[in-house]
Amino acid sequence: MKCTRSVRLLLLPLLALYLGLCGCSGSSTGEGGFITVVDQLGRTVIVPEKIRRIAALHHFGGKVVFALGQQEKLVDQALYHRETVAMARVNPSFAAKPKLLQGHGINNEDLIALKPDITIAYVSFDPSQLEQLENAGIRVVAIRGETLEESYEGVRLVAKVLRCEKRGEEYIADCKRLIQMVKERTAGIPPEKRLKVMFAGPKNIYTAATGQMTQNVLLETAGGRNVASPLTGFWASVSPEQIVAWDPDVIFLGSSLDTYGAGAIFSNQQFQTIKAVKNRKVYVFPSNIGWWDYPAPHCVLGTVWAAKMLYPDKFRDLDMVRIADEFYKKYMGYTFTEMGGRL
């Protein structure tokens, strides 16, 4: 009997350890352990098995941390622009965190002082600043999301680092379901019947999303044809004559900085012959509290919205606010409406 009781006592800690590993709690197989991952810059990064403090230097990383239910571990607000304001309004814990993102810059000293176990950056992060952080002992994992597949891999990478693989796959599956719904509804539109679309950049109407950008994937998935898809780079500069020659059926305006609106397009005398202007089909991309047209799996909401704007007859039954509310509730902790979102 003594032997049996001893075996039971020995097994109890092992059972507790096993149960701890099954969830998305960031538990490790031991204090002070490490795992090795390869980030989306191809860098090998050694990170702690048990993550208690997370910094995110780009809204993509911040959103993924929220989607994985790990937001309480964030040492900074980790969202950006109006989304930060919206989250701070409904979440006092979030509002109390410092704001590392100031404009488009990060103060390295402020970040180091917060002592994160892991920092999530975007692949466009300044390499010299990345080196400075690593020299200061800050472990940085870089993620990328210019295509949906890249964004899914970014989610999987962060989920692996935070030991939340199951939650990460659930997030990806929900994104894929929305994308599949759009593809099924637009599948019957012949290539020559698909609407020509220009996606204008946040600075002015004379910049266009190229074939190498998230916005191109978004437009094509929504059933449109990006008139600027042959171009390369990011936000290619184009002439008024080129836009007129493209003659897009629809123009989407980037949601980023709200530096201009549809009115500026309708009043532009150079564009009066363009179909999108003549038919009043110039739309500002949502949302008012967080971008749906920037790299991150949340851009699937932008894909659904764009498809509904392009082909309203095929999506007449679709309640965009309801879809956004459900998605935000599950992956941001609050509904789109609760955060002040509107379309």
Q: Which CATH number goes with the domain that contains 292?
A: 3.40.50.1980
pLDDT above 90: residue 205: no
- Whether 112 and 58 map to the same domain: the answer is yes
| Residue 141 resides in a domain | yes
pLDDT above 90: residue 189: yes
Q: Are 88 and 94 in contact (CB under 8 A)?
A: yes
- Whether 230 and 301 map to the same domain: the answer is yes
- Whether 158 and 203 map to the same domain: the answer is no
Which pLDDT band, with edges at 50, 70 and 90, does 328 fall under? very high
Query: What backbone phi and psi angles, to 5 degrees, belong to 163?
Result: 60, 45
| Residue 327 resides in a domain | no
| Residue 289 resides in a domain | yes
- Higher-confidence position of 332 and 214: 332
- Whether 158 and 196 map to the same domain: the answer is no
* Domain total of the chain: 2
| Residue 25 resides in a domain | no
- Whether 50 and 115 map to the same domain: the answer is yes
Q: Are 231 and 210 in contact (CB under 8 A)?
A: yes
pLDDT tens for each residue of 272-325: 999 999 999 999 888 888 888 877 788 899 999 999 999 999 999 999 999 999
Count CB atoms within 10 A of the CB of residue 41.
Answer: 17
Nearest by Cα to 213 from 196, 200, 195: 200
Cα-based torsion angle of the residue sequence 226, 232, 233, 239 in order, rounded to the nearest 10 degrees: -70
| Residue 21 resides in a domain | no
Lowest mean pLDDT among 179-188, 220-229, 256-265: 256-265
**Per-residue pLDDT, 326:** 97
CA distance 30 to 39: 23
Q: Are 111 and 133 in contact (CB under 8 A)?
A: yes
- Whether 154 and 214 map to the same domain: the answer is no
Task: Give exposure, 66-83, as e/b (b: 16+ Cβ within 10 Å).
Answer: bbbbbbebbbbbbbbbbb
The most confident of 26-40, 71-85, 233-247, by mean pLDDT: 233-247
- Whether 152 and 195 map to the same domain: the answer is no
Percent of the chain with pLDDT over 70: 87
Please compute the mean of the pLDDT values over residues 16-25 and round it to a whole number.
41
Nearest by Cα to 40 from 138, 136, 156: 156
pLDDT above 60: residue 265: yes
- Whether 159 and 192 map to the same domain: the answer is no
* Distance between first and last Cα of the chain: 69
Instruction: State which amino acid sits at residue 299.
Output: C
- Whether 202 and 308 map to the same domain: the answer is yes
| Residue 131 resides in a domain | yes
- Whether 202 and 155 map to the same domain: the answer is no
- Whether 95 and 217 map to the same domain: the answer is no
- Whether 157 and 41 map to the same domain: the answer is yes
- Domain extent, residue 58, equals 30-163
| Residue 149 resides in a domain | yes
pLDDT above 50: residue 3: no
| Residue 179 resides in a domain | no
